[in-house]
Structure 1
């Protein structure tokens, strides 16, 4: 019955939304104020697409009953840490030791702290850190830490925990049974925090995501890895690493072949290329590159392809060098002869003439082939630029989790979301830490979108592609939020409406759509307190914009992201108002615009209906943004406070 009601509301919301947005585009735009009318209708269109993706996600929400765990499986429990307090790490590690199902517990210390190693040895806990092979090579943050551990352990399955996530003893008993299906590679459980008060001022709990959204994605076989509280199959990860290794070598060879063809084309423009020998050598290299491309497409051995092409290029280079050397010897003989006229030494003018004679020669065919030679030599199946050639967890993003599960799904593996709290952790207790965490999540997600867009990812079903894209799409909301804040301010200050008029036709389309939309969220959430999450999706608009722009600069121009591990303890005084300066400015503009709008109404410059509607939106925006005032003032969780209610399986 619940699923039927959700589907009914999804259909109703989509119909009403398409009706409203279609009317907005076709009939209601105020073209005399296109500079705000177009951005507003684009923002509304963005929101409709967001709602449609949410509706698709919840269309197949899945509730699972875990199968019993089979006996005899080997499991490694990985606790990742960098600079977290030692007692926090050890509390998690000792709790991991108490997990009932037989396993091996490992602390993966990326900080290489001797004191932590000694504590681990004292408690009989495995301790792993990186070796010298990682020196002066990319470390890839948490993904690199896990990839290093995978090469040093043997368990069939890995339970991954952050340093603050205390596992419950039954966590493996409740999740290992899903792996009876040989195609299941991932079981993700919720992340839930014990230090969050009932009003959740920092929006740390995510009952909508760790609930209807992940359950809906699970229905489409697209529940994804969230970095912690997840169990993964080693076989799937190693396949992922090997496929990624092969793909990267293949990409390098493609690039080398493309560069070789370009170099040959440019060399043909040189006047030296008209010489029969040079033209013949360039033809030989071009034929060899075409054959290499055909062999690559046919699946021939990479080493054989590069060896054959390298041998052809090396031979051509040697012949060109030999020919140039012969000419050079003749030139030198000519120069020497110039100095034997009656034993008179060369004058400065004679030297200049000789140098000019040598300098006039063109070496571009040789230079081009030497460049191709250098590129081919640089192609190495050993991947000497990395600490290890095989990287099972994805390293294309500062958040390794989403990209890893997306790649597993593209290889045909299945995932499971098990909706039961089996580990409890610590949420940020100050605004600065929370913003650092949200920025990193958003940056990593946008990196994945720009580097491996799920909409074009081969191997996934279209529904899986849309499930991943829906999460990425949500981080573009910062740009829409700016428009939603600006529109009422512009009307109240200037009297400019982005629509032709606020007629009855507008309200009979807009209001039913909004009501159906909110009912869908309420019913899908089954009473979960999702309002705080909705507030922060708008209130953190500067963070989402920064994440999009900084990730784009990183992917397109190689600018660093200044990656920072999210602190697990409170960072001093949280009353840092400058952290929300853009939101405070927006609130001041909204409040000021409301006052000015009411004054303009009083003197007859604004219409009553337009003023009422826009003042309503100002009040709504202020209520949403006001969550940040409490966030700045939040002093951390008091032990006598009651945490937010526990999720039910």
Structure 2
């Protein structure tokens, strides 16, 4: 803990000195809010460590002799059955005392209950000061030396008084407190897994970690119940505090200030009812939060007289803990604001900061894991932080701005919800929707409008949003789970039960089963025969020497057939739900007594044992025989007495049973095991034992080894164990339960609908905030949510507004820079880049942008000077900095733009001399060498590069540009040996062969490609073109005809297919009627074409002439010549067509004109 505190201190100091973002008022505000929240967290952590520094458990003390103890049970409107269970347990405590029920509800039925049980009944005329007033009224009317206070649902153990009263032997002790525990494990505030035998509850951190540590500081908190007081101590502080609605905390603090010693005993001595659902949970937490914070108005522990420093700090920590909702909200909102604004609350995410933060987080999580000792974990803490934050904010607001006096709200103890669920989920749904909306908004806006995307900041914000969303969804799953219709909690306990029912025809059904659960309203039962439903019968739950008898009706019946439906001979099992009808008081008493002894106490023992064991290695069974976790009723004969229990598991050799009746080890007993295959009779010997619960319950687990089977017992037992191979039967034999569903769909749908509801506002806000950004994005050529490019006047306005702002956003400047580059406004681009470099003069990226802008603006000298200044600065700081190379390359490019290619070559050589391994620069240098005609040097540069696939592709391009076709072909074939299926390489080879007029070889390449992809239009056209150029016009014409008939011409916007057809038609020796029809169709298509190519009419007319349609050919040629009289090819074709049509005079006219133009051109050249 010391190391963790030191690391936290270093982290907070480092954050405050070096990482706060104070660039602008918003960044400063966001940064300080987060920083203050972190300070709050670290301070709370230190105060927490102070409370748990030394968890001192006081040694057990023997009870006082004949002390006068009054037990107070304050009540208001609790159910009679709950009161009965608590009062019966109070009366059964093993230390002399008087029990008082303090009825603030003044109910006659409660008074009758007290008269029946022999409990003292107290009431009063009004409910002034609620529970505190009720207790004080009773204190005035009683005189016991010691006062034990128990809530109406807190059922005490028999040894409750005798275990705690001994600490008052020390005359300085004014209060002894024990933990609150709950008999309903599956609650909103708890997590239980019966199969893994694990249980967590929100209160365990307080009662098992914090309270024991406060023994060391003499600041144990009075928890409102399960405590014993010395009357004189209470009297000295004015009895129970009435100023606040958390009279417990307030009273305990006053006892400490008065000098009385407080003691905490961590042993579980009571079991109450935990908050079953979200409404009860928040009603209770609101009262605790508001009441605790209200104490600061009356008795601030930091200034209260009588407290020492440790007491001041520990009490203050317990109070201000309830104000943690505000800093928690800041932590939730911080990543949201990062995504929405793009402003980080941290100046810069550096590797050192990441290391410091990682050390801080790891030390906190590891230390807390050690301190928690398995009673809670990080996930549960975060879950309840999410659950409580808004309730704590509301309580804090009420205390700061009180509109009326706080009201004491009694927590509902028996079934049903305490109000509507909606108010308790709206904050989390809203937060979830805001986080999701911000995530979508932030990712889109950053990806679209942030040219220099901060992936680290975006990643951190996204991670935090997803982290918080996980716990918001987890909370909503629990809060929005379907409400239970059960009034009372059903304890998971397996006990023998006898039943007897009679159907409407008078047939009697008797037998024995085993309970799956138990409450004071009924039981769940598994039996091995079919029973009539909705008829009244009798049941008796028998366990050891205890017995619960009741009239009951079967309300639910579920048949488990196993494999019987498939015709197999296996027994059937039935699950039943039984409701007690008009249960007698004795039934209610027995139900409570059996539940406490055989369900609550054993489960707590099992949970605690598994918690102490910590991480358990995977179990590897070394058993020689199979063992099944079947729960079956067992009857043991102990002489003339019969003892009833159930199996925990069994095999062909032994069974495990839990009993409260002691057995002699190695003694043999006759036993009957009732099962779905029949009753199995065995002689068993008690062997290994394990204590499940200590006195006063004294429940022990025995292993009963089978010494002898009677009758068909062995075969029946084997048949029983074989049933474990059938999953459906197994679930009814081991009495496994399905946990109540906690839906994912409800919270996700609620969050999605909330996002959708806010979408119009968000979209409007997005456009309002990013309207100019959208225009700028359009100006960069990105078609994002807009249809047209940015207008010059809009760009002028945005430029003027941005440069006129006192502190323009970096994101806007970067977008503006890109838009100006795209629009070619280089002068304005320089202005924007100068602003960017002035904002961050140490950013080399902005320096590069300025150099590039100056080069584009034709200000080469300034560009050269600026780049040279950066080169000198970087070279002095770090000669190996890659940014140095970038500025050298920019300087070389600027020199090239200025027209001095050879000077640019020298600058590239200088850069490569310092960074010889930079391939990109070397490629650019080689390209410049090609540009100035130094091809051989360019090839030498490429020879020095790693001969990757891409480099060799560029070499092929260089060879082709230098007409070095042999070297190019050799390189292509080399690459094809490495990648024989590379289509692009094969096409490159075909084109190269065609350039060399090696048409046969080219056709082989194309035909090989077509063998793999026979319908590839590109390859088919290349093949047809090659056939045309090689003189195979007939074959080419046929191939073009097939492609046209297949409809490929419809997408031939550039007339490549149709132009190829014309060339093939003109070069063919044989033309079919189909070819002629295609030609005529082409004429029609050309006549109606909007974009007509100039090279088509002459060839099309020539083809028409070959087809014998001289008139149409002449019309087409005359029209084309009129449109372009300078095209000599068209004029020659027109003269030829006229001659072929017999119009020799007109043809001679054109021939003479063409000849005169040729002669005139020769004279002109000769004169020159």
Q: TM-score, normalised by structure 2?
A: 0.40
Contact map agreement 1:450 1:552 (CA 8 A) in 2: no
State which of 17, 23, 29 in structure 2 corresponds to 1:26. 17
Of residues 504, 512, 518, the one that matches 2:365 is 518
Local SS of the residue matching 2:352: helix
Is 1:503 the equivalent of 2:350?
A: yes
Shift of 1:534: 3.9
Aligned to 2:711: none
Aligned to 1:559: 404
* Contact in 1 for aligned 2:256/2:306 (Cα 8 Å): yes
Measure the CA separation in 2 of the matches of 1:228 and 1:426.
Answer: 13
Whichever structure has more strand as a proportion of its residues is 2
Contact 1:577-1:632 at 8 Å conserved across structures: no
**Does 2:440 align with 1:451?**
no
Which of 388, 398, 401 is 1:550 aligned to? 398
State the Cα RMSD in Å.
2.2
Shift, 1:615, TM fit: 1.3
Superposed counterparts of 1:410-489, under 5 Å:
410-489=257-336
1:157 is aligned to 2:146? yes
**C-alpha distance in 2 between matches for 1:550 and 1:574:** 20
How big is the shift at 1:172?
0.9
1:235 is matched with which residue?
A: 232
Matches of 1:85 and 1:510 in 2, distance apart?
52
Structure 1 residue 573: deviation in Å? 9.0
Give the superposition deviation at 1:567.
1.1
Q: Deviations over 1:242-284 (max 9, x none)?
A: xxxxxxxxxxxxxxxxxxxxxxxxxxxxxxxxxxxxxxxxxxx
Aligned 8 A contact 1:204 1:427 in 2: no
Match of 1:529 in 2: 376
Deviation sequence 1:162-204 (CA, Å, 0-9, x none): 0000000001111111111110111111101111228855885
Question: Is 1:196 paired with 2:41?
Answer: no
Q: 1:194 to 1:205 in 2, by over 3 A?
A: farther
Quote the Cα distance in structure 2 between the aligned partners of 1:567 and 1:101: 30
- Paired with 2:408 and 2:159, the residues of 1 have a C-alpha distance of 34
Q: Aligned pair 1:539/2:387, yes or no?
A: yes
Q: 2:474 is matched with which residue: 627, 631, 635?
A: 627
In 2, the alpha carbon distance for the partners of 1:198 and 1:522 equals 24
> Aligned residues, how many?
482
CA displacement 1:364-387 (0-9 Å, x = unmatched): xxxxxxxxxxxxxxxxxxxxxxxx
Structure 1 residue corresponding to 2:158, chosen from 166, 169, 184: 169
The answer to whether the 8 A contact 1:574-1:632 is kept is no
State the secondary structure of the residue aligned to 1:629: helix
> Are the equivalent residues in 1 in contact too, given 2:293–2:323 (CA < 8 A)?
no
Q: Is the 8 A contact 1:575 1:632 kept in 2?
A: no
2:215 aligns to what SS in structure 1? helix
Q: 1:626 Cα deviation (Å)? A: 2.4
Residues 189 and 275 of structure 2 are in contact (CA less than 8 Å); yes or no, is this contact kept in structure 1? no
- Structure 2: give runs of 5+ residues left out of the alignment: 192-199, 493-516, 518-598, 610-693, 695-1168
Structure-2 change in CA distance of 1:154 and 1:201 (3 Å): closer
Pick from 605, 612, 616 the counterpart of residue 463 of structure 2.
616
Task: After TM superposition, list the pairs within 5 Å mapping 1:174-189 onto structure 2.
Answer: 174-189=163-178
Distance 2:147 2:318 in 1: 25
Contact persistence 2:202–2:376 (CA under 8 A) = no
2:70 counterpart SS class: strand
Q: Is the 8 A contact 2:114 2:120 kept in 1?
A: yes
Q: Counterpart in 2 of 1:211? A: 208
**Secondary structure of 1:513's aligned partner:** helix
- Distance (whole Å) between structure 1 residues aligned to residue 17 and residue 188 of structure 2: 43
Separation in structure 2 between the aligned mates of residue 553 and residue 560 of structure 1, nearest angstrom: 11
Q: Cα distance, 1:110 vs. partner?
A: 0.6
CA distance in 2, matches of 1:191, 1:232: 16
Structure whose CA Rg is larger: 2
Which residue of structure 1 aligns with residue 83 of structure 2?
Answer: 89
Among residues 52, 67, 76, which one is paired with 2:70 in the alignment? 76
Q: Distance in 2 between matches of 1:533 and 1:187?
A: 28
**d(CA) in 2 for partners of 1:171, 1:234:** 18
1:438 & 1:200 partners in 2: Cα distance?
11
Residue 147, structure 1, aligned to residue 136, structure 2: yes
Asked if 2 retains the 8 angstrom alpha-carbon contact of 1:476 and 1:548, the reply is: yes
Residue by residue over 1:348-379, the C-alpha shift from the partner in whole angstroms, topping out at 9 and shown as x without a partner, is: xxxxxxxxxxxxxxxxxxxxxxxxxxxxxxxx
Query: Highest relative contact order (Cα 8 Å, sep 6+), 1 or 2?
Result: 1
State how far apart, in whole Å, the 2-side matches of 1:147 and 1:47 are: 38
**1-side partners of 2:454 and 2:357: how far apart?**
20
Are the aligned partners of 1:200 and 1:532 in contact in 2 as well (CA < 8 Å)?
A: no
> 2: CA distance between counterparts of 1:432 and 1:572?
6
1:27-42 mapped onto 2 (5 Å cutoff): 27-31=18-22, 32=24, 33-42=27-36
Quick one: distance in 2 between partners of 1:200 and 1:546?
20
TM-score (norm 1): 0.71
**In 1, Cα distance between equivalents of 2:491 and 2:230:** 38
Deviation of 1:638 after TM superposition, in Å, equals 5.3
Corresponding residue number in structure 2 for 1:594 = 439
| Correspondence for 1:64 among 53, 58, 61 | 58
The equivalent of 1:272 in structure 2 is none
After TM superposition, give the deviation of residue 38 of structure 1 in Å.
Answer: 1.1
User: How far does residue 574 in structure 1 lie from its aligned partner after superposition?
Assistant: 8.2
CA contact (8 A) 2:386 2:475 kept: no
* Cα contact 1:430–1:570 (8 A) shared by 2: no
Indicate the residue corresponding to 1:16 in structure 2: 7
1:407 is the counterpart of 2:396: no
Residue 573 and residue 593 in structure 1: after superposition, are their counterparts in 2 closer, same or farther (change >3 A)?
A: same
State the alpha-carbon separation in 1 of the partners of residues 188 and 320 from structure 2. Answer: 27
> Structure 1 residues 546, 574: CA separation in 2 closer, same or farther (over 3 Å shift)?
closer
- Name the CA shift for 1:410/1:573 in 2 (closer, same or farther; >3 Å): closer
* Secondary structure in structure 1 of the residue aligned to 2:74: strand
Q: 2: distance between equivalents of 1:616 and 1:532? A: 19
Which residue matches 1:118?
112
Partner of 1:359: none
Identify if the C-alpha distance between structure 1 residues 627 and 231 changes in structure 2 by more than 3 Å, giving closer, same or farther: farther
Of 547, 570, 577 in structure 1, the residue corresponding to residue 415 of structure 2 is 570
> Pairwise mapping of residues 370-389 of structure 1 onto structure 2 (< 5 A)?
none
Using the TM superposition, give the Cα deviation of residue 561 of structure 1 relative to its aligned residue in structure 2, in angstroms: 2.4
Are the equivalent residues in 1 in contact too, given 2:189–2:281 (CA < 8 A)? no
Structure having the larger proportion of residues in helix: 1
Cα pair 2:179 2:226 within 8 Å, conserved: yes
Distance verdict in 2 for CA 1:477–1:572, change over 3 Å: closer
Closer, same or farther: CA 154–534 of 1 in aligned 2, 3 Å: farther
Shift in alpha-carbon separation, 1:81–1:575, aligned structure 2, 3 A: closer
Q: 1:158 aligns to what SS in structure 2?
A: strand
Give 1:580's match in structure 2, choosing from 401, 419, 425: 425
SS in 2 for 1:560: coil
In structure 2, C-alpha distance between the alignment counterparts of 1:573 and 1:120, rounded to whole Å: 27
Secondary structure of 2:478's aligned partner: helix
Q: Is 1:223 paired with 2:71?
A: no
Structure 1 residue ranges without an equivalent (≥5): 1-9, 242-391
**TM-superposition CA deviations, 1:494-548 (whole Å, max 9, x none):** 2110110111121121111111111222111111124424421243211001111
User: How big is the shift at 1:602?
Assistant: 3.6
Take 1:572 and 1:221, find their aligned partners in 2: how far apart are those partners? 38
SS of residue matched to 2:302: helix
Change in CA separation of 1:573 and 1:17 when aligned onto 2, cut-off 3 Å: closer
SS at match of 1:611: helix
Alpha-carbon contact 1:477-1:538 (below 8 Å) kept: no
Contact persistence 1:226–1:402 (CA under 8 A): yes
